[in-house]
Structure 1
Amino acid sequence: MRYYADLHVHSKYSRACSRYSELPELARWARRKGITVLGTGDFTHPEWARRLREDLVPAEPGLFRLRDDLEEEVLRSLPRSCRGPLRFLLQVEVATGHRQGGRARKLHHLLYVPDFEAAAGLSRRLARHGDLTGDGRPFLAMDARELLSATLESGEGAYLVPAHIWTPWFGVLGSTFGFDSVEECYGDLAGEIFAVETGLSSDPEMNWRVPGLDRYRLVSHSDAHSAPIIGRNATLFDTRLDYFALRHALRTGEGYTGTVDLHPEEGKYHLDGHRACGVRLDPDETEALGGRCPECGRRVTVGVLHRVRQLTGHPEGTRPATAGASRKIVPLPELVGELLGVGPKSKKVTARVAELTSALGPELPLLLDLPLPELRAAGEAGLAEAVDRLRTGRVHRDPGYDGVFGTVSVFAPGETPAPAPDHQPALF
């Protein structure tokens, strides 16, 4: 079975996350996006752990579904086109902080377990190192190796994936607090790491140029702080619905298909820069300036493209044996916003996207798989043109830097796309 998984999300108990991120809301949006396996987020938070136990029931091995009354409520709120199967997988992101090699190391990690008993046992271990009640993404005073050891000791099948590995502030390979290799970070247990998360500011092609990542499967997830952005990055599998089959696919490549990513320029740390001064720099400019902001003289934030270049050893176009397919998207609300000439979060776009997914199916299959002739036959010539440009890489990029998100569009500034119809598209 081919399916999309998004295994890095957050609940309302994580800081700076939507108060609406409850399980039914996450389930509704996951189905609208075309996600079949969704991370629960935040299983170490006591209140969220209680809610997970109350609202989820066992499904296939290591996976869960909403209990019947909640599932029926969610399905009633969705069009028939968006009522595919949805399973939850127990997941949490945690932060660790320690000193190593004479430097502070502040890192984020994704932890996965197959059952509530393992989740509870791991939470007890981690509670010795920090407060689990204040934030769904807790900060732990321990090093990365200790965290990996605690995860492995929590039960059969538990595993750890380094989160958004290139992020300057919290990535394992990040420019500010990171290391030069995964092995340096996790020490003698590094062999237990078999996958790494690329993050929003890099894509597989960038990672394939780094020899130190050749042995790892690359995963992409949304890191969703609110339900509507679930699935902006995702990983594609071809396995049975089963936690252990998914884990096996990441470890061996059997059933791992590849990733779906935003264009990395849309990430908020793609290029170097200094947000306070509005200065954005490419790596050559940063090096010519000695790493200093030309406006104020302070050090700039070294972005992902620059950091990847520092560790590059393979020529462009290299594909390691662990590589899967790499496909790029521009989220459907952004495409529709371009077609309508309004912002992607406007009510007009929200209503139009609801019409489209009702008639044509969930967002990811619509963007990536739906034949263009079917889009045109449904009266969607403008959208078909936008999707065609997306699939063939004909996009315009304005890269992000130092915490400022970039933008990617399929139509050039001043270009007038074919108008979208005012009526609901026809079913076919």
Structure 2
Amino acid sequence: MAVSRAMHPEKLLNACALKGLHVLGTGDALHPAWQEEWKPFLSNSQGICVIPTGEIEDDHRVHHLILAEDFGQFDQLRDLLSQNSRSIGTNGRPHVFLSGEAIAQRVHEVGALIGPAHAFTPWTALFAYHDSVAGCYGKESINFMELGLSADSSYGAGIPDLSDVPFLTNSDAHSPLPEKIGREFNKIQVSGNLTPRNLLNCISAGTITMNAGFFPEEGKYNRTACVRCFTQYSVEDAGRYNWRCPADNGLIKKGVYDRARELSHGTPRQRPPYLHLIPLGQIIQTIEGVSSPQTKKCREIYNEFITTFGNEIDILISTPLSEIRMVHNGVADAIAALRENHVILHPGGGGKYGTFSLL
């Protein structure tokens, strides 16, 4: 449900190679049929480390992200949760009628890691319903926190509850298209071989050396806005309107920007650098002035870049501009503007993605 029909392991692994990713989470690892689809690719993953991952919705509608070493841990977890869920074997993201604390206890019992998914989003997220980590997880610890597309590290750096919690930036892709997968990613210092166990140990230890992803303003829920017409409001005005849009009576949802400011009352902790990126396909789309990065012209330009330079992340981050210019002068100018932070942002909110333009 809610994903592209092209979401199959082989296509996802091929997309990782285009993007320049070395680790991929499976998603939906509690689903038996999805596990079976993945098993042939675990030992033939094109050099990509595959991590079983899954998401659970608790009895307060908070979403939790789970990372495990192997599918066997998810099988154990399914057994532990089955009596509290009617959808544990049929829904990729099952609804489990337990508290966040009870779910975390069971996740830790099987040796897996857990943290809040897209923690600031105003729907189905930790800080949508709780003012603290303990408010959701009780005495259980969290192993990481996923920021979500509408936040970067600065949004959580001043929240005392999170001072010792590693931040993850994950693409949460519902499609293997290159502008979706890897639109956010993590750079992690791994000791020894790149294996699921070593990777999970590094996440627990917080050896994340860089987060990368959207400018927060590009996210769908960055600003406080009406969920119908997307008109944006200050928190003060939204309160005066009783959180109903005066134009169409739509619900006004508090944005991630405002929610993070409410919760930030500590000295901001130093975090790994956060690299703001825009997917190459979106850059090409903007420069070419077309409606989608999937147009024939955009795909031809994108494929020429990959053929020439190997993968998208290297192109965006480290390929010399002089070499990029040999393929497409306008894209080179755009990447130069991106690297120098010369980007005009038009924040999203209420469920509508933000947009950008280049100076």
The interval holding the TM-score normalised by the smaller chain is over 0.9
Mapped contact 1:330–1:408 kept (Cα < 8 A): no
Q: Distance in 2 between matches of 1:400 and 1:108?
A: 22
Question: What TM-score does the superposition give when structure 2 sets the normalisation length?
Answer: 0.93
Q: Offset of 1:248 from its aligned partner?
A: 2.7
Cα deviation digits, residues 263-309 of structure 1 (max 9, x gap): 11111111111132342224354345453312244541111111112
Q: Are 1:16 and 2:6 counterparts?
A: no
Cα deviation digits, residues 84-127 of structure 1 (max 9, x gap): x3121111111112xxxxxxx21111111112322211122222
Q: Distance in 1 between matches of 2:173 and 2:186?
A: 14
Mapped contact 1:335–1:409 kept (Cα < 8 A): no
Aligned to 2:200: 247
Cα deviation digits, residues 238-278 of structure 1 (max 9, x gap): 2141223322322223x321200111111111111113234
Mapped contact 2:305–2:327 kept (Cα < 8 A): no
Q: Are 1:44 and 2:30 counterparts?
A: yes
Question: What TM-score does the superposition give when structure 1 sets the normalisation length?
Answer: 0.78
Q: Are 1:307 and 2:259 counterparts?
A: yes
Q: Distance in 2 between matches of 1:30 and 1:285?
A: 44
Mapped contact 1:95–1:140 kept (Cα < 8 A): yes
Work out the percentage of aligned pairs sharing the same amino acid. Answer: 29
Aligned to 1:76: none
Write the mapping of 1:70-81 to structure 2, written as runs, cut at 5 A.
Answer: none
331, 339, 352: which one aligns with 1:383: 331
Aligned to 1:163: 117
Mapped contact 1:42–1:92 kept (Cα < 8 A): yes
Which sits farther off after the overlay, 258-267 or 294-303?
294-303
Q: Offset of 1:379 from its aligned partner?
A: 4.2
Q: Distance in 2 between matches of 1:107 and 1:341?
A: 39
Write the mapping of 1:125-204 to structure 2, written as runs, cut at 5 A.
Answer: 125-130=80-85, 131-155=87-111, 158-174=112-128, 178-190=129-141, 193-204=142-153
Mapped contact 1:263–1:408 kept (Cα < 8 A): no
Amino acid at match of 1:135: N
Q: Distance in 1 between matches of 2:105 and 2:135?
A: 15
Write the mapping of 1:328-407 to structure 2, written as runs, cut at 5 A.
Answer: 328-343=276-291, 344-376=293-325, 378-407=326-355
Mapped contact 1:233–1:261 kept (Cα < 8 A): yes
Aligned to 2:163: 214
Between the two proteins, the alignment pairs up a number of residues equal to 353
Q: Give the match's secondary structure for 1:189.
A: coil
Q: Give the match's secondary structure for 2:61.
A: strand
Q: Give the match's secondary structure for 2:127.
A: coil
Q: Distance in 2 between matches of 1:297 and 1:375?
A: 49
Q: Give the match's secondary structure for 2:314.
A: helix
5+ residue gaps, structure 2, are none
227, 241, 261: which one aligns with 2:213: 261
Aligned to 1:95: 57
Cα deviation digits, residues 179-199 of structure 1 (max 9, x gap): 011122111112xx1310000
Q: Offset of 1:314 from its aligned partner?
A: 4.1
Q: Give the match's secondary structure for 2:123.
A: coil
Mapped contact 2:229–2:250 kept (Cα < 8 A): no
Q: Give the match's secondary structure for 1:106.
A: coil
Q: Offset of 1:210 from its aligned partner?
A: 2.2
5+ residue gaps, structure 1, are 1-14, 58-64, 72-84, 98-104, 412-428
Mapped contact 1:111–1:151 kept (Cα < 8 A): yes
Cα deviation digits, residues 20-60 of structure 1 (max 9, x gap): 11100000111111110000111111111122234322xxx
Structure with bigger strand share is 1
Q: Distance in 1 between matches of 2:172 and 2:89?
A: 20
Tell me which stretches of 4 or more aligned residues in structure 1 moved more than 6 Å: none
Q: Distance in 2 between matches of 1:29 and 1:335?
A: 18
Aligned to 1:80: none
Q: Distance in 2 between matches of 1:358 and 1:284?
A: 51
Q: Distance in 2 between matches of 1:51 and 1:258?
A: 32
